[in-house]
Amino acid sequence: MSIRLGVNIDHVATIRNARGEKHPDPLSVAKKAFSYGADSITIHLREDRRHINDKDLKLISSIKSIPLNLEMASNSQMLKIAIKHKPNFVCIVPEKRTEITTEGGLNLKKNNNKLKKTILTLNKYNIRTSLFINPTKQDVKISKLLNAKCVELHTGAISNKIKKNKEYINYFKKIKNCAKFAKSLGLEVHAGHGMDYKTAKILSKIKEIQEFNIGHFIIGESIIFGLKKTINQFKKILKR
Ligand code: PXP
């Protein structure tokens, strides 16, 4: 069985916004990516709307045949938006305005009550909820207590090691142990951040991981080789 591939198209919007016009259009790219084999489309509606905006969310979520994973911060405003557009999945992520990208997993202890409320509401609306966490057993345990359905393990640290050809085995073991533990608790396991072909190949050896969410590398590689070839290449790697 293959690992599912979620294609994050935030950076299509980044390129569009650089000109403030309409091209390239995230909706068209979402449709194309799905037709080329993406299992779902991921978009992150940031509070500062630096890439994906409300109109993108409205248009993409209206295409019900494309499974949509909405990444969002846990607050009442975003929760209202999620309920309005009913994406299939929500991945709750930490958000800092000054960061370039989502630099780490959620602080589950600090935000426990807020997260609990958000997850309870999303569960009520049958929106599958995932928590973007650092790969620690403690965070997996808290995610289960919070009633999340899935955890997405942050792969930024291991991806950096692999890209720099540095020793990554301890990071790999940590992710593998967390994935095993999460599965044993009945959580579905996802992984994402900073991944490329090499990272995907290495992490696909962890049989408990069922989904990867990959963005920046796919959009970057597509500029050179095209979206279809890039998605096909990932699909080959994710077959196991
Ligand atoms: N998963 C989550 C939860 C993310 O926040 C991001 C970045 O938006 C990704 C996956 C994709 O990361 P990248 O763009 O580095 O592939």
Token readout for 116 is 């609990």
pLDDT of 16 > 90? The answer is yes
> Which atom of ligand 1 is found nearest the CA of 6?
10
The mean pLDDT of the chain is 96
21 is catalytic: no
Tens digit of each residue's pLDDT (9 = 90 or more) over 212-231: 999 999 999 999 999 999 99
Nearest CA to 68 among 46, 48, 38? 38
Structural domains of the chain sorted by starting position, each given as residue range(s) with its CATH number in brackets: 4-237 (3.20.20.70)
Spacing, Cα 154 to ligand 1 middle (Å): 8
154 is catalytic: no
CA distance 34 to 25: 14
pLDDT band of 98, cuts 50, 70, 90 = confident
Tens digit of each residue's pLDDT (9 = 90 or more) over 144-203: 999 999 999 999 999 999 999 999 999 999 999 999 999 999 999 999 999 999 999 999
* Atom 6 of ligand 1: nearest residue by CA position: 193
Confidence (pTM): 0.96
Q: What is the mean pLDDT of residues 56-63?
A: 98
Spacing, Cα 211 to ligand 1 middle (Å): 12
Number of other CB atoms surrounding residue 183 within 10 Å: 18
Q: Which of 3, 5, 8 to mutate to test the pocket of ligand 1 (most atoms within 8 A of CB)?
A: 8
pLDDT band of 102, cuts 50, 70, 90 = confident
> Which atom of ligand 1 is found nearest the CA of 132?
3
Which pLDDT score, from 0 to 100, does residue 99 have? 75
